[in-house]
Structure 1
Amino acid sequence: MRVTPDEVGRYAQSLPQVKRKGTESRPAWYVNDRLVVRLDDPNTLVIRVPLSERESLLDAYPDTFGVPPRMEAHHKVEAYLDQAQPDAVRMAIALAWEMQRR
Structure 2
Amino acid sequence: MEEERKALEALSPLPVYWRRVKCGKERCRKCPHGPYPYLYLKVKKGGRWRWKYLGKGWQPPEGFTRPREFLEALAGYKALLRRREALLERLAEAERALS
Superposition TM-score tier, normalisation by shorter sequence? under 0.3
Higher radius of gyration, 1 or 2 = 2
Query: Greater share of strand residues, 1 or 2?
Result: 1
